[in-house]
Amino acid sequence: EAQVTQNPRYLITVTGKKLTVTCSQNMNHEYMSWYRQDPGLGLRQIYYSMNVEVTDKGDVPEGYKVSRKEKRNFPLILESPSPNQTSLYFCASSLSRQGSSLHFGNGTRLTVT
Amino acid sequence: AQSVTQPDIHITVSEGASLELRCNYSYGATPYLFWYVQSPGQGLQLLLKYFSGDTLVQGIKGFEAEFKRSQSSFNLRKPSVHWSDAAEYFCAVVPRVDSNYQLIWGAGTKLIIKP
């Protein structure tokens, strides 16, 4: 089954404790992206990747890191999480650039205390 | 600045009634246009998209959307809603001048279905 898999679904952590949210897609998609969703703000892009070893900042990259060492994986790293990073996070992928629809994971709800 | 506006934060309709969700964008040229749906606890799923051609686009789950260039709008419609349509709906656009495929999202409209 074609899918984007994020783990974990839920995560509660404390300020400053490094964490990684994994994202994997099995569709051989070139494009991958991370979003955060907050009430009233819709989806905001954190980072995206056009292909392996190519990543770029989105609208809200501060406090996040990503890597794209393999085509299928695009982990999101929070080196020193803070409470303002409490949010619902989505990973998404698409076949290529313009015109391709995004496939989303089921989300990771992160709480930083 | 480029933007996508969904003027309704919440909409409540009765089951079986018709639905229209509004979406307006502010760009000079016609962008690529999308509607996504997010069911509770789920990721987003594409309902339909418009690139060119017929301005009335059919999507999944009985939804359709009409592109109106003169109004810079791409409103989503369904003739008769079902309780399972309760979800949040997002309009998104990609400016055609953007070669990096950066989606710009509306803030979403939450659809509530009255029994």
Q: What is the pLDDT of residues B65-90, one digit of tens each?
A: 999 999 999 999 999 999 999 999 99
Distance from C-alpha of B59 to C-alpha of B37, rounded to nearest angstrom: 11
Q: What is the pLDDT of residue A55?
A: 95
Strand partners, A46: none
Q: What is the pLDDT of residue B97?
A: 64
Q: What is the pLDDT of residue A98?
A: 57
Chain A residues near residue B106 by CB distance under 8 angstroms: 42
Strand partners, A43: A37
Task: Decide the pairing of beta strands A10-13 and A108-112.
Answer: parallel
Task: Decide the pairing of beta strands B44-50 and B87-94.
Answer: unpaired
Does residue A101 sit at the B interface (CB-CB below 8 Å)?
yes
Say whether A104 and B44 touch across the interface (CB within 8 A): yes
Q: Confidence class of residue A99 from pLDDT cuts 50, 70 and 90?
A: low
Single-letter amino acid, residue B12: T
Distance from C-alpha of A67 to C-alpha of A74, rounded to nearest angstrom: 6
A4 Cβ partners below 8 Å, 6+ apart? A23, A24, A25, A27, A91, A92, A93, A103, A104, A105, B43
Single-letter amino acid, residue A58: G
Q: What is the pLDDT of residues A49-64, one digit of tens each?
A: 989 999 999 989 999 9
Q: Confidence class of residue B99 from pLDDT cuts 50, 70 and 90?
A: low
Give residue for tokens 């990096």: B100
Collapsing DSSP to helix, strand or coil, A107 comes out as: coil
DSSP one-letter string for B66-90: EEEGGGTEEEEEESS--GGG-EEEE
Q: What b/e sequence results for A97-112 when a residue is b if at least 16 CB atoms lie within 10 Å of its CB, and e otherwise?
A: ebebebbbbbbbebeb
Q: Which residues 34-53 of B are in CB contact (within 8 Å) with A? A: 34, 36, 41-46, 49, 51
Does residue A34 sit at the B interface (CB-CB below 8 Å)?
no
Nearest to B43 among A56, A58, A107 (CB): A107
